[in-house]
A and B are shown apart, each in its own frame.
Chain A
Amino acid sequence: QKEVEQNSGPLSVPEGAIASLNCTYSDRVSQSFFWYRQYSGKSPELIMSIYSNGDKEDGRFTAQLNKASQYVSLLIRDSQPSDSATYLCAVNMNSGGYQKVTFGIGTKLQVIP
């Protein structure tokens, strides 16, 4: 089992629709969760962080966390073609007494005009 799992996609949604991106993780004691967006040929950029169960909203983005199910998701409302990118889920993991941030493979999102 991978430490952080994402469906690599591509996930295609029409413009204006809600895009739902999902991520599961293996470390039950993880406390910090992040979503990064990576455009083709660019480096990842942080778009959301979440630390507590429930929803966290920032503009068109909503991050959802369910620690009991070891599940984190990202919803993008009113999807735009400019949202087309790869979305990386990142989770802190305990490793040898220290913490490290582990990334999923990323889900490629395509927003169709």
Chain B
Amino acid sequence: KAGVTQTPRYLIKTRGQQVTLSCSPISGHRSVSWYQQTPGQGLQFLFEYFSETQRNKGNFPGRFSGRQFSNSRSEMNVSTLELGDSALYLCASSLGAGVSYGYTFGSGTRLTVV
């Protein structure tokens, strides 16, 4: 059974650029959540999608957005990148709508903004 696939694994971008990250959940999982992980803040919730609908959003600026497609694959976009956006972005796949089920995480996308 394939795991959660995140692409790309590494990205280097310049301030002001925009970036799109992709996540393919485990087959049959309909919920995808996104987290930002930094050494100082730990895992911070970005948003959760279930059946193509954003169910919840964390306390991030509007530069952070996402969407989910009918095949449950999800993308997140960050526009006008800032140095502080450098982080590991993790996608978490879940069978149902998140909270009563554990997550399976992807390997993450390491974003560096220079």
Contact = CB atoms under 8 A, between A and B. Distances in A.
Interface size class of B (residues with CB under 8 A): 20 to 34
Contacts of B102: 34, 46, 49
Interface in A26-80: 31-32, 34, 36, 42-46, 49, 51
A45 B102 CA distance: 9
B43 A45 contact: no
Contacts of A34: 102-103
B108 A43 contact: yes
B75 interface: no
Contact of A43 (B41, B97, B99, B105): B105
Interface of B: 33, 35, 41-43, 45, 48, 55-56, 58, 90, 97-100, 102-108
Interface residues of A, number: 24
A32 B45 CA distance: 16
Contacts of A88: 42-43
Given A101-B33, A106-B42, A46 B103 contact: yes
Nearest to B43: A103
A11 interface: no
B43 A100 contact: no
